[in-house]
Structure formats: structure tokens, C-alpha cells
Amino acid sequence: MIEEIVKDISNKLLIMQPVDFSDIVGMDAHMERLSPLLSMDSESEVRMIGIWGMGGIGKTTIAKCLFDQLSQGFSARCFLQNVSKIYRKGGVSYLTEKFLSTTLGLSKKKMKGSGVKLGPQEIKARFGCRKVFVVLDNVDDMRQMHAFAQESSWFGPGSRIIITTRDKGLLNTYGVRTVYEVKCMDTGAGLQLFNQLAFEGRLPPSELYEKLSIRASWLAQGLPAAIEAYGLFFRRMASLKEWDDALCRFLRAPDENVMEILKVSYNGLEEADKNVFLHVACLFNGEPLQRATTLLDDGELQGCLGLKILADKSLIEITAGGYIKMHNLVDQTARAIVNQESVQRSHERGVLWDPYKIYELLEHDSEPTKCMALHMCDMVLPLHLGGHSNYKDTLKFLKIYKHSDHIKSKLHFSTDDANLLSSKLRLLHWETFPLTTFPCRFHPQDLVEVILHRSNLTSFWKETVVKALSRSMLITMIFQCLYIFTLFPILC
């Protein structure tokens, strides 16, 4: 019995435990901007406020701070941390149980004995007339929202319900009109937070460390979770050499923990949207939305819908000028995912960007891919593209860049080889394209963009031939070409 009481009190204490949020960099600004949205003076209405932003941006911390500062005057209050996790563990009933036990301050055992029924109706009956302050943290499914309130009359007048989520679409569907978007920290604030953690509140010991700390905090690109992870990591680095090594490591790929946070959003996507996401990271980060939409919108990828979903789930941002902006760490995470998946599912590779993987694919007749972005600056060795007998026509997006300072291309390509010039190509972007004319078997059907800067072309393909043939005849011709090519590679 005593044990029960202690547990009960400690449960209550846990909720009331004061945390000092005044130290957190940027928190005051968030509170100031949120204050008018919450309009705490309005006693008659139930207000729902969504806090929306990408993973690791600090939504939960902001919600905790709001709860800490504002929930005191409410007759019932509840901070339900990680709703998504609770729901995955035990479904709607477990979620309501958690909610009731936290709000009523009852332990699990006591809940069973108290006769409190579990279910949405119970919430309405108990809180319909009470002024409550509820935070539903990390909601990612409509069913989780419905478990608490199918209409605002479930809570008494003056109640405030705060929902943190990565998915704006979910807030829209639920009719939450007041949405606070959490954005990345600016460079100054990011550096301040980083230094607080890396040098334990002290100033950098020398100018050199100061310079390194600017570079290190820049790698986190204003994402608080990453700044925190990097700050704590660099705290352990004792020498300048260690700092330098760690910087190089994070330049290549983000910290594992940061990637885990960012991957959650990716894992929640449908298969088609996952594909669009990886394409955007490797090809269209920084490009106009309109352009990416046109290129990605074929029957299979459904880019138009996919890009909207990615923006809703805060994996990309659409700037005011209509450009796609993907956070650098999200971009890096996407590239890491591409590499991991290409190992796991080498037979159905979607996107390729890593020069080593491209060497592997092109030099060893592996299974073909649908999208390839190759930066020749990243190529360490020259790549010779020989004739491939195992030719499969799947490549849709091809982007080959070359640095304008490089005099010689590292990519060697012979007229025989049409391996990269698939007839499914939608984007053909090849800087310093080496051929003087297109191979006879290149008959693209779905080309949306052709960008061949500083190409070696003297003439194009013979359009007159293409015009004269019907689609089916064309296909036959391609096969004939291939057939001849396979039999007499020297002749073709």
C-alpha cells in the first residue's frame, strides 16, 4: 500500500517536475510566437494547436516548455509523450489507458482497481466539463487522434490541446487550423547551442577551435537534434587532429543517431513515395518544383502526389519561389539509405549515386537501375563503358556532371555502347556528351528533358526515321538492332 502511494506521488511529481527551459537557445522566441496562437485568455473555446516540423527540430521540447509554463491553472493536464510508440505497442485501448492514468495520476495497478473504463466514451464523460491542458506528442496516424477526441466537445471550454507531428496532412485532415511550423535554427543560434555543449558552457579555448566549431555546427544545418549530437560528440574530442577527423567523418555521413531520427519519416512512407524521396535527394534538391513534378510524374512514380506528401511530412520544403529544398542531413540520410538498399536488394536497385556502386554496375553486368546520377568529380578511376550484352532498357533518369575545370573526362564511352541510353529515359543530362551523333538504337519514347552542355554532337538523331515508324515498328527495330549488336558486336 505504501509502495502504491509512493509510486502514485512520484508519478504526479514527475509531471510537475520543473525543468529550466530558459537556458535552451531559441526557446524564448518560440514561446513568444506561440503565445498568440494559444490565446490563453479565451475561456469559452477548445483550442487545438499543431506543432509541425521535421524530425529532430525540437517539437517535443517546445511542447514540454509550453506544458511547463502554461498548464498550472488547468484542472486536468497530461503530457503524453510519443503517442506513436504507445499506439504501436498496444493500439487504441492502450493509448486511452495511458492517457487516463497520466491525467488522473493513477498507476497501472490502481487503474485496474478504480473501475475506470477504458475507451473514448470514458474520456468524454470525465473531461467533457473540465478545462484540460493536453499535449499529444509525436502523432503519426489519424486513429491515434480519434482515440482522444472525435469532436471538440469531449473536452470542457477553455481546454488547450497541443499536437506535435511531422505530418501536416494529418493536422489538415483532423481540422487543426492553427499550425505552428518549427524551422531550423539560424547560424548564430546554432553555433551558440553547439558551443554550449561542446565546450561545456565555456568559450572555445583558442581561435583554431573557434573556427573548427563554426564548421562543426554548420554541418548540423540548424537542426537542434544534430547540433546536440555533434556538440556532445565533439566534447569528447581532445586534440585538433581528433576534431579534424570527426569533421571529415560527418561531412561524409551524418551521425548514426541523427540518421535514425530522420529515417523514421522515410520508413512511414508508401513504397512509391519512398522512391520519389530518393530521386529528389539524388537529382532534384534545389530544383524548381514544377520541373521535378513533370519529370517524376509518370504512371509508376506519381511524382506530383509524392512531392506533396513529402512536403506535408516535412521531408522537403517548398520555398516561396517554388523551389524544392531538402535539408542537407535529410539529403545525406537519403543517400545512405540508397546505399544500404542497394546492398540488400541488388536485383532491384532504384537509384544510384555512389561512383563505386556505379563502377560495379557498369563494369560487371549487374542488374540495371532506374535512376543514375554520376558526378565525374567524385570518380577516382576512369570508367570504360564497354558493350553490354546483358542490355536491359530500364534507366529513366541519367545525370552526368563534369567539373568545368576538368579538361579530360574520366568517362570513356564508345559509339557501340547504348547501355546508358535507354529508351525509357525521361531525363538525359550529360555534360560533355562524348558522341558525335546518337547510336542508331537510341529511340527514346518518354523524353522530357535533354540537357547536353558542351556536347560533342555534330548532328542529332534522324528524326525523319522516327516519324515514319509506328511505335510497334520502332520496338521491333530496337530489338533488331540489339540482335545484330549481340551477334556481331564489331559490325554494329
Which residues here bind other proteins, judged by CB under 8 A?
294, 433, 436, 447-464, 466-467
Q: What's the min distance (Å) between Cβ of 393 and other proteins?
A: 18
Question: Which is nearest to 276 in space by CA: 259, 292, 253?
Answer: 292
Closer by beta carbon to other proteins, 60 or else 455? 455
* Closer by beta carbon to other proteins, 340 or else 445: 445
Phi, psi of 138 (to 5 degrees): 55, 65
Q: Which residue lies nearer to other proteins by CB, 125 or 468?
A: 468
Nearer to other proteins by C-beta: 127 or 413? 413
Least separation in angstroms between residue 282's CB and other proteins is: 19
Q: How far is the CB of 70 from other proteins (least distance, A)?
A: 51
Shortest distance in whole angstroms from residue 316 CB to other proteins? 22
- The DSSP secondary-structure symbol of 116 reads P
**Nearest distance from C-beta of residue 418 to other proteins, angstroms:** 18
267 vs 464, beta carbon nearer other proteins: 464
Task: Name residue 193's amino acid.
Answer: L
| CA nearest to 427, candidates 372, 367, 362 | 372
Helix (H) or strand (E) holding 317: strand 317-318
The burial class, CB within 10 Å (0-12 / 13-18 / 19+), for 165 is buried
168/402 with CB nearer other proteins: 402
Q: How far is CA 15 from CA 24, 127, 239, in A?
A: 20, 19, 42
What type of residue sits at position 345? R
Interacting residues of 68 by C-beta distance below 8 A, sequence separation 6+: 18, 19, 21
- Closest distance between other proteins and the C-beta of residue 283, in Å? 14
Between CA 362 and CA 369 the distance in angstroms is 10
- Of the candidates 103, 94, 105, which has an alpha carbon nearest to the alpha carbon of residue 130? 103
Please state the closest distance from residue 85 (CB atom) to other proteins, in A: 45
Compute the distance between CA of residue 22 and CA of residue 30 in angstroms, rounded to an integer: 11
Please report how close the Cβ of residue 321 comes to other proteins at its closest, in angstroms: 17
In terms of CB distance, is 57 or 428 closer to other proteins?
428
CB-count burial class (<10 Å; 0-12, 13-18, 19+) for 472: exposed
Alpha-carbon distance of 287 to 261, in angstroms, equals 25
For residues 181, 184, 186 and 187, what is the CA-based torsion angle, rounded to 10 degrees? 180
Residue nearer to other proteins on the CB measure, 208 or 447: 447
Residues whose CB is less than 8 angstroms from the CB of residue 90 and which lie 6 or more positions away in sequence, other chains included:
97
